[in-house]
Structure 1
Amino acid sequence: MNGNLWSLDLSNNRLSGTINTTFSIGNSLRVISLHGNKLTGKVPRSLINCKYLTLLDLGNNLLNDTFPNWLGYLSQLKILNLRSNKLHGPIKSSGNTNLFTRLQILDLSSNGFRGNLPECILGNLQTMKEIDESTRFPEYISDVLGSFYDYLTTITTKEQDYHSVRIVTSNMIINLSKNRFEGRIPSIIGDLVGLRTLNLSHNVLEGHIPASFQNLSVLESLDLSSNKTSGAIPQQLASLTFLEVLNLSHNHLVGCIPKGKQFDSFENSSYQGNDGLRGFPLSKLCGGDDQVTTPAELDQEEEEEDSQMISWQGVLVGYGCGLIIGLSVTYIMWSTQYPAWFSRMDLKLEHIITTRMKKHKKR
């Protein structure tokens, strides 16, 4: 291949078969995009010769391989898109802390990766550990490199797919969704303070949501849906004032939803499928929440109060009458000094009461 060629873009064609191109030592390639074809086989090992490579997009193909960890040796690599292929297996640690240090977009979604999330890679993402303050006037990666080529790729952010997007230097995206990753979510993700989008949805992740996520101060989209995470939503996440999209649906979360700031704007869909969650905007409210009572519930409460008042009134009237009669009889007995007469009246009353009780039992 020509050593002066710096961009190879054959995306969205009908290419099939394996990638049989041999990338020679000393080439000047900065961009390789074969996105949206029907390429099969493995990721070509000769890519290791592309030492200036900044963007590698092999997404939406039929590649069948394990994770090419050796791509981490490409020290200039900023965008790695391997989404929607047939890549599989665990992502093994190489023990090298200098891999993928400049990566700012990592998309491995819709593959067959399994095992724990790749802490070996996540801990190496040095570029994502800094916040890019140049958001007022967006700067593009191609501008930084002094060329007129607009680096385009497909990204997923805020639950939307965007195709042929120019890459801004502030785009910090990790998308590991739709795989078979399991185990706990590593707390070291909280060190990636420059992250704008984090999507770990549709895996088999469990355990608690790390409280370290509170450090992701510029995070705009967080999707952990369709996993097995448990416990409470960390109250510290209420401090994420840039968060526009939150999806925690279909997990095993419990407890009260954080209040205030961005959390007051999320809808039921952000939390559905978590039967143990309570608080706004769900119908199950927390103890401190003001309960909204419907008109029907209000009428029912009034009827119950009325019936309780009537029953208590009856008890008080009966008690009062009985007390007066009892005191009157006692007074008559002692004032007239006719205990025999009173004894006969007492026996007669006892007979009447016993007879009526027997009739009531038969009924």
Structure 2
Amino acid sequence: MNEYLWNLDLSNNNLSGTINTTFSIGNYLTIISLHGNKLMGKVPRSLINCKHLRLLDLGKDELNDTFPNWLGDLPDLQILNLRSNKLHGPIKSSGNRDLFVQLHIMDLSSKGFSGNLAESFFENFQAMKIIVKSAGIPQYIFDQFSGYYDNYLMTITTKGQDHDSVPILTSNMIIDLSKNKFEGHIPNIIGDLVGLRTLNLSHNVLEGHIPASLQNLSVLESLDLSSNKISGEIPPQLASLTFLAVLNLSHNHLVGCIPKGKHFDTFENSSYQGNDGLRGFPPSRDCGGDDMVPQATIPVDLDQEEEDSIPMISWQAVFMGYGCGLVIGLSIIYIMLSTQYPTWFSRMVVKLEYRITTRMKKHKKRY
């Protein structure tokens, strides 16, 4: 491997087989992307020699391995994408508190990871514990290397949608562990990752309550905890998340009242569906004192209702009569012209037109 190579991007090239490249000690690789191929086997251990590596994208391949926890020893690694592979097993955390300290984005959405989410694992994410200001001119993670290559573009999932070919802002803080088999409780320590913009733990088997510590994620824009076994009430403190634009808590075992105020008043029923114990706006069951008391209805004045319905019926009758008269009139025209009685027919048409006009004027004055 050329020691002066900075960027290795072989994504979407239909490559197959195993990754048999040996990454030598002392290389200057900053980006490695083998995304969207058919590569199999294990994540090569020689990646540990890439001490300058900032982005590793092995997503959408067919790698079959356990979680490469040793990648956390790379001191500058900011983006780790292992989504949509055949990786499996628990995500174990060693006693080393210096793992993944610079991580901004971790995407492990797959189908095979399992076990509990250890608090010690998230405790290492030091960079996510700082809120990065996004005001002013946007700053991208790879701007300082723009003299060697353009800003790296990748696919990220945020606010419930996949976004292709987007540059990575320094403010992008994303954890996506969706579509796995993680179980146990959601760690309270996630509330310490105050720089998070997107948190996706959907489609797992997580249980317990939603930790109230999530209220500390003051810049969180997207929270997806759907399709788990989470129970209890929605913490009312979450209503203080003013940047929250996407919320999905559907298909859990949540109960109680939905918090009110700020962005919570804008979320649709789809954010809460599949939780039979939830009530309050926007679901149809009110959150009053009696859970089963139906919402008040406004009495209807029958006289007013009948009066309002008369014009509609009358106008329908008028148009029906007008249509029938038109057909009959055309028939008479044909008969009269064929029998050569134009003078008599002309007088009849004038008289008929006068009657129709008079009736329509009377009807209009009445209503």
**Quick check: 1:76 aligned with 2:62?**
no
Residue 294 (structure 1) shift: 4.5
User: Structure 1 residue 145: deviation in Å?
Assistant: 4.7
Match of 1:7 in 2: 7
Contact 1:229 1:252 in 2 (8 A): yes
- Whether 1:281 aligns to 2:282 is yes
Native 8 Å contact 2:92 2:121 kept in 1? no
Amino acid in structure 2 at the alignment position of 1:49: N
* Corresponding position: 1:267 with 2:268: yes
Q: Which residue in 1 is equivalent to 2:213?
A: 212
- Write the distance in 1 (CA, Å) between the matches of 2:294 and 2:218: 32
Give 2:137's aligned residue. 137
**Alignment map for 1:177-326 (pairs within 5 Å):** 177-287=178-288, 292-294=295-297, 298=299
| Greater gyration radius | 1
1:291: Cα distance to partner? Answer: 6.6
Equivalent position of 1:164 in the other structure:
165
Give the 3-state SS of the residue equivalent to 1:155 in structure 2. strand
Q: Secondary structure at the match of 2:183?
A: strand
Structure 1, 261-270 or 283-292: larger mean CA deviation = 283-292
| Aligned-partner SS, 1:190 | helix
Q: What amino acid does structure 1 have at the position aligned with 2:200?
A: N
Once the two structures are TM-superposed, the CA of residue 121 in structure 1 deviates from its matched residue by 2.5
Match of 1:124 in 2: 124
Q: Is the 8 A contact 1:199 1:223 kept in 2?
A: yes
Which residue number corresponds to residue 152 of structure 1? 153
For 2:138 and 2:289, locate their aligned partners in 1 and report how far apart those are by CA, in whole Å.
Answer: 43
TM-score w.r.t. the length of structure 1 is 0.80
Partners of 1:74 and 1:44 lie apart in 2 by 14
Q: CA deviation digits over 1:83-110, x for unaligned, max 9?
A: 0000000111211000000000000002
TM (normalized to structure 2)?
Answer: 0.79
Post-superposition Cα deviations, 1:297-320, rounded to whole Å, max 9, x if no partner, equal x47xxxxxxxxxxxxxxxxxxxxx
What do the CA deviations read for 1:31-77 (whole angstroms, capped 9, x no partner)? 00000000000000000000000000000000000000000000000
**Are residues 118 and 146 of structure 1, via their aligned partners in 2, closer, same or farther at CA, if it must alter by over 3 Å?**
farther
Structure 1 residues 44 and 280, CA, compared in 2 at 3 Å: closer, same or farther?
same
Most deviating of 50-59 and 144-153? 144-153
Moved beyond 3 Å, runs of 4+: 144-148, 288-295
Could you say which residue in structure 1 is the equivalent of 2:89? 89
For 2:304, the equivalent position in structure 1 comes to none
Deviations 1:190-232 (A, max 9, x none): 0000000000000000000000000000000000000000000
Cα distance in structure 2, aligned partners of 1:118 and 1:177: 16
Match of 1:58 in 2: 58
C-alpha distance in 2, partners of 1:138/1:81? Answer: 23
C-alpha distance in 1 between matches for 2:25 and 2:138 = 34
Q: Which amino acid aligns with 1:2?
A: N
Secondary structure of the structure 2 residue equivalent to 1:47: helix
Contact 2:104 2:127 in 1 (8 A): yes
RMSD: 1.7
Count of residue pairs the alignment pairs up:
298
SS state of the match for residue 237, structure 1? helix
Stretches of structure 2 that go unaligned for 5 or more consecutive residues are 301-367
Secondary structure of the residue aligned to 1:141 is coil
Quick one: distance in 2 between partners of 1:96 and 1:229?
Answer: 30
